[in-house]
Amino acid sequence: MTGDEPFITAVKPLVDAMGGDMLPPDEAGPEDVVLAWEGVDVVAVRLPQLADSLDHILAAMERRQGRPLADLDRKAKQEIVRILEARGAFAVRHGVETVASALGVSRFTVYNYLNREKGV
């Protein structure tokens, strides 16, 4: 390699956090994002489908909490819903259902948390 290792090392945590995969730029498909370093294509990033991203985000939140999201108290679950809404989780098809399942609550409860956050 030609000095691009620091670049790959720098972007890997971001790609991992998004649930993406890194691959050689010549293997990039039309939906992949090719990243260049000093004018040379270095790595391609294959982003996950939005639904897969939501699962990845939920798993990361669970790891940060150190326990299943369903085991959190109501206030913590409301905070999780607030964070997920800010990240666009509920724009994903079946997003409310996926989040409700992860939190161990009903869809109705997730909608209540969302409405509470909006001051409805």
Q: Give the model confidence (pLDDT) of 52-86 as tens digits.
A: 778 888 988 999 999 999 999 999 999 999 999 98
**pLDDT band for position 1 (cuts 50, 70, 90):** very low
Strands laid side by side in the 33-37 sheet? 21-23, 40-46, 33-37
Mean pLDDT to the nearest integer, 4-10: 86
Cβ proximity of 38 and 22 under 8 Å: no
Residue 68 sits at φ, ψ, to 5 deg, of -60, 140
Q: Which residues pair with 96 in a beta bridge?
A: none
What pLDDT, on a 0 to 100 scale, did the predictor assign at position 55? 85
Cβ proximity of 21 and 15 under 8 Å: yes
Cβ proximity of 76 and 38 under 8 Å: no
The Cα 1–Cα 3 span in angstroms is 6
Provide the whole-model pTM. Answer: 0.62
- 66-84 burial string, b = 16+ CB within 10 Å, else e? eeebeebeeeebbebbeeb
**pLDDT band for position 120 (cuts 50, 70, 90):** low
**Residue percentage of the chain with pLDDT more than 70:** 92
What pLDDT, on a 0 to 100 scale, did the predictor assign at position 77? 96
Ranking 8-17, 24-33, 44-53, 98-107 by mean pLDDT, the lowest is: 44-53
**pLDDT band for position 51 (cuts 50, 70, 90):** low
